[in-house]
Structure formats: C-alpha cells, structure tokens
C-alpha cells in the first residue's frame, strides 16, 4: 500500500468514526503538531498515539459534535504527502459551526507516519473553541 493509499484509507475510516486506521499508521514515536495559533497547539508536539489521541482527538470529541475532516486532494510527494480539505462540525457549547480549510502535511518513514503538521484557519478555531 502506498503512503497516499494509507492516508485515503485512514480518512475514509475516520469518516465512519473509526480512528484505528490512522492510529495504526502512526510510528510509535510520531510527532503531531497542530497549527500555531490553534488552541490545541498548546501540547505541541504531541508524541505517540496516546498523547495524540488524548491531546487532540479527545479534545475534538469533547467539544465538537459531528466533527469532520473531509479530504479534497492528496498530493503525493513520496515520503511527504499533503492532504487538502475542510473541517466541519458544531460546537457543543454554543452551536456555532466550524467550517475551515486545512492542509495536512504527513512525513512517512518505513511506511509509518513519523510527523504531522496541520495548517488551518487558526483564528476561526480560536474564536470557536471554549
């Protein structure tokens, strides 16, 4: 399976509320960085699946209903893969909608994700998150 195919499978599974494919693609020491200015960047870099799960995805689940990360384009650079898409969801605390573009930069080594960098509308995230 190519790196792009791995990520396509991960986003497809995530859309079905199954993060296991993404977490299975992570190197045990993977470093995950949320965009500077995103309130969830306070733990950068998150290292390893447990830190990523709790520090990023756990916070998303606790604050955003029907969260989505919908890929629109995959850019195959071999060990570097860029995914362009949109986030969506509804804030639990006030009902406001998240609708923000994203670029995800993944770096692979040995078939596993070793680094992730998010780029997004951080002003929107900062305004919406409690």
Domain ranges of the chain: 3-128
Q: What percent of the chain has pLDDT over 70?
A: 100
> Mean per-residue pLDDT for 70-84?
98
How confident is the model at residue 37, as a pLDDT?
A: 96
Please give the C-alpha separations between residue 44 and each of 1, 32, 51, 55, 90, in angstroms, as whole numbers. 29, 7, 10, 9, 24
pLDDT digits (tens, 9 = 90+) for 28-56: 999 999 999 999 999 999 999 999 999 99
Residue 40 contacts residue 56 (beta carbons within 8 Å): yes
H or E, element range at 128: helix 122-128
How confident is the model at residue 43, as a pLDDT?
A: 97
For 51-58, the CB contacts below 8 A with 24+ separation are 52/23, 52/26, 53/19, 53/23, 56/32, 57/19
Identify the bridge partners of residue 32 per DSSP, sorted by sequence position. 46, 116
Q: For the chain, what is the mean pLDDT? A: 97
Q: What percent of the chain has pLDDT over 90?
A: 99
How confident is the model at residue 118, as a pLDDT?
A: 98
> Mean per-residue pLDDT for 107-124?
98
- Look at strands 46-47 and 26-33 and give their pairing: antiparallel
How confident is the model at residue 42, as a pLDDT?
A: 97
CATH entry, 3-128, from 1.10.1740.10, 1.20.140.10, 3.10.450.50, 3.40.109.10:
3.10.450.50
How confident is the model at residue 87, as a pLDDT?
A: 98
Q: Give ∠ CA 98-116-64 in degrees, rounded to 5.
A: 25
């Amino acid at each position: 399976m190519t790196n792009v195919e791995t990520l396509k499978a991960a986003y497809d599974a995530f859309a079905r509320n199954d993060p296991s494919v993404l977490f299975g693609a992570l190197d045990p020491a993977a470093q995950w960085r949320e965009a500077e200015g995103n309130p969830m960047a306070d733990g950068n870099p998150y290292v390893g699946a447990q830190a990523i799960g709790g520090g990023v995805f756990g916070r998303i689940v606790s604050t955003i209903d029907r969260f989505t990360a919908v890929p629109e384009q995959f850019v195959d650079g071999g060990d570097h893969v860029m995914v362009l898409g949109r986030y969506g969801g509804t804030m639990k605390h006030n009902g406001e909608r998240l609708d923000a573009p994203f670029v995800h930069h993944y770096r692979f080594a040995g078939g596993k994700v070793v680094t992730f960098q998010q780029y997004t509308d951080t002003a929107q995230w900062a305004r919406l998150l409690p």
